[in-house]
Structure 1
Amino acid sequence: MPNLIVLGIRGIPARHGGFETFAEKLSLYLIGRGWTVTIYCQEDGCGEITESEWQGIRRIHIPVSRGGAAGTVIFDWKAARHALRQKGLFLTLGYNTAIFNLMQRIKGQINVFNMDGIEWRRDKWGPIAKSWFWMNERAGCWIGNHLVADHPKIKDHLATRIRSHKITMIPYGGDEITNANSSLLTPYGVEQGKFSVIIARPEPENSFLEMVRAFSRTTRNHKLVVLGNFTPNSNPFHRKVMEAASAEVIFPGAIYETTVVEALRYYSRFYLHGHRVGGTNPSLVEAMGAGCAVIAHDNHFNRWVAGPDAAYFKDESVCDQLFDQLLTDDAAVAQMKANSRARFQERFTWDQVLREYEELLNNWYPTK
């Protein structure tokens, strides 16, 4: 029975982000296909390493007393050391601490890396963090036996580091949403089709300020719901975004209830996607799976994912123009929604993505 060991995430069930959701989906899929799966999970506190089982998945719990990024680095170090005693095929999600996986390479363990996005290009990191990520991207390319890129442009980028035959492109996946509970909109004071939504981490490279400013230039008779963990008292960028917002912009905070997020996507007029850095972004894929009409920042990452029929903006002025044009054009919006579903079904369903991963993992499974 083949065994997969997953490193690089904070654990399952998924609570933190796209990689955790992917790990959960892949693990349950592989168990149904006759695999066993082990996942390392980060826990707060001190004490001994423990094990548990969740829906047939073996979980190894590693307690870490530090919080934040430092705690994650410590967890990755402890997980990489503990993994030296495991047998099977390894899948490491992200390269942020890839240098630690050198131990596995030396021991001869086979490790497939999903290289995620180009983390060292993100505006939010200072020089030291950018240098760390740049170094670990290089390390992951060399240490990993094989690499997964989640976007053709990420594969092109990695091919400047390593030969392209060592890289397989498999995008992120999503669930198709064909219905949602409209009553879940009530607490936010919005009605079906009379609001648009932004769902992302409120970082400068995600174009929050540009999108909020563009929407707020005039009265729209429309709401903009901006999901995210805003802390204006301690974060100057968050404060700047909120100060730029008109009375029609709603900041409900971060929402983690899946059914609520699905309803906000499904009943929105537009999903706004301002990401400028990265590959196949999970939030964009999930929006397409909900049939959202997409307005996205114009770059080669977003254009490949959302396709030629989404609406794109290069700057705040163009974003403003798109609101002016599309808020009253029901026929165009209906076509954009249909095109999103078609593009999603073409390339981003979990069935397709997980089959491609299983094929790749079978090809790399150690024979000894």
Structure 2
Amino acid sequence: MAGATLRIAMIGTRGVPARYGGFETAVEEVGSRLAKRGHDVTVFCRPDPDGPGEEHLGMRRVELPIVRKRSLETLAHTALSVINPALRDVQVALVFNAANALLLPVIRARRIPVATHVDGLEWQRGKWGALGRRYYRLAERLAVRWSDDLIADARGIADYYRSEFDAATTMIAYGAPINHSPLADRLAPLGLEPDGYHLVVARFEPENHVREIVAGYAASGARLPLVVVGSAPYAEAYTARVEAAADDRVLLLGAIWDQDQLDQLYRHCRTYLHGHSVGGTNPSLLRAAGAGAYPIAYDVIFNREVIGHHGGYFTEPADVTAEIMAAEREPDRVRVAGAALQAAIRRYDWDDVTDGYEQLCHRLAARSPNPR
């Protein structure tokens, strides 16, 4: 897009390089493209001993320390970010995660217009106790009140904010990388072959239904192994439940940071099982769809918005069992449906996503912060 270059700050995530989740993926994909278009992009990052230093893909990295406690880590890091000197002269702030809404007045006090990417229904996540859930509900209201704009990545999230708070949002989805690569050399070290396994990629959290997927698979007579990629900090108890549900056909690989290997896992699986239920449009689902994988997804509006009729759905382990067995009986049907979804998913384009963020930033920079 044509227009003046801007100084943009991206706050509230683990930062770049993207090695964790959807927010980090969005920051890397959008921030690098904004930088390539000439904008000055600063990303506040958590400590990364293997990080690239002060610059990554044209973005300035500002590493700040963290409090290693799940309930405080995000908010404490964001608090350090919003008072950091690197925020001086920034024209627009993009804050990710409504949980950071408590700190929006600090940004506004610095006369910086701010948009908050509200993500999914965080208060529904099982890892939070009663106090955490109440905080997240409060944070949603504060984000509505104190943001100059709200960003939603899925229609279901936009509908929620409209019905719950009578608040408009700017709809900007994630992008989907398209992967046609035939390369499969990174599978052999894992003992895998193309079209020879089912795949899960997820953080080990209850609302991602990893345990239900593993239990449903274990109850099946599946011939192909189930490959599970993922872990989570502070999730020892849930990880133990996943391990207890597995049998010897389940390969628990933990986290994989090798992106080429992950691309090959997505590209060559028989099915991709996706249990995410509260997070809006999920980048892992988009990545699997962009690789032509056949998805079997937890049945919620966010996943149906992406997949439509090009995949299967489940709500309990028995559904997983049935879907996996059907996929092994009908490989041609699965292959055709995956290819159709890959074609349809081209509507999720990172350049178009960046256009949306760029337009939003120009609108925000053209005015001073105003109460919603």
Q: Does the alignment reach a TM-score above 0.5?
A: yes
Spell out the pairing of 1:10-29 with structure 2 (5 A cutoff): 10-29=14-33
TM-superposed CA distance for 1:53, in Å, is: 3.5
1:173 maps to a residue whose letter is: G
Spell out the pairing of 1:30-69 with structure 2 (5 A cutoff): 30-43=34-47, 52-64=54-66, 66-69=67-70
1:141 maps to a residue whose letter is: V
Counterpart residue number, 2:146: 143
CA contact (8 A) 1:231 1:239 kept: no
TM-superposed CA distance for 1:29, in Å, is: 1.0
Spell out the pairing of 1:305-316 with structure 2 (5 A cutoff): 305-316=306-317
Spell out the pairing of 1:42-191 with structure 2 (5 A cutoff): 42-43=46-47, 52-64=54-66, 66-69=67-70, 70-82=72-84, 85-164=88-167, 166-191=168-193
TM-superposed CA distance for 1:179, in Å, is: 0.6
CA contact (8 A) 1:4 1:91 kept: yes
SS at match of 2:31: helix
TM-superposed CA distance for 1:282, in Å, is: 1.0
Output the CA distance in 1 between the equivalents of 2:315 and 2:307: 15
1:281 maps to a residue whose letter is: N
Output the CA distance in 1 between the equivalents of 2:295 and 2:166: 34
Output the CA distance in 2 between the equivalents of 1:333 and 1:192: 14
- Cα gap change, 1:192/1:10 in structure 2, threshold over 3 Å: closer, same or farther? same
CA contact (8 A) 1:7 1:40 kept: yes
Q: Identify which range, 239-248 or 141-150, moves more after superposition.
A: 239-248
CA contact (8 A) 2:186 2:264 kept: yes
Instruction: With a CA cutoff of 8 Å and minimum separation of 6, indicate the structure with the bigger relative contact order.
Output: 2
Q: Which runs of 5+ in 2 are unaligned?
A: none
Q: 1:208 aligns with which of 201, 207, 210?
A: 210
Counterpart residue number, 2:236: 235
Output the CA distance in 2 between the equivalents of 1:188 and 1:304: 33
Q: How many residues align?
A: 359
Q: Identify which range, 296-305 or 176-185, moves more after superposition.
A: 176-185
CA contact (8 A) 1:110 1:366 kept: no
SS at match of 1:243: helix
Counterpart residue number, 1:48: none
Output the CA distance in 1 between the equivalents of 2:367 and 2:293: 45
Output the CA distance in 2 between the equivalents of 1:329 and 1:184: 26
1:328 maps to a residue whose letter is: R
1:88 maps to a residue whose letter is: Q
- Cα gap change, 1:87/1:330 in structure 2, threshold over 3 Å: closer, same or farther? closer
TM-superposed CA distance for 1:319, in Å, is: 1.8
Spell out the pairing of 1:325-364 with structure 2 (5 A cutoff): 325-345=326-346, 347-364=347-364
TM-score by length of 1: 0.91
Deviations 1:33-55 (A, max 9, x none): 2211122223379xxxxx93434
* Identical counterparts, % of pairs: 31
Spell out the pairing of 1:263-282 with structure 2 (5 A cutoff): 263-282=264-283
Output the CA distance in 1 between the equivalents of 2:363 and 2:284: 30
2:103 maps to a residue whose letter is: F
TM-score by length of 2: 0.90
Q: Which runs of 5+ in 1 are unaligned?
A: 46-50
- Cα gap change, 1:254/1:352 in structure 2, threshold over 3 Å: closer, same or farther? same
CA contact (8 A) 2:198 2:270 kept: yes
- Cα gap change, 1:132/1:270 in structure 2, threshold over 3 Å: closer, same or farther? same
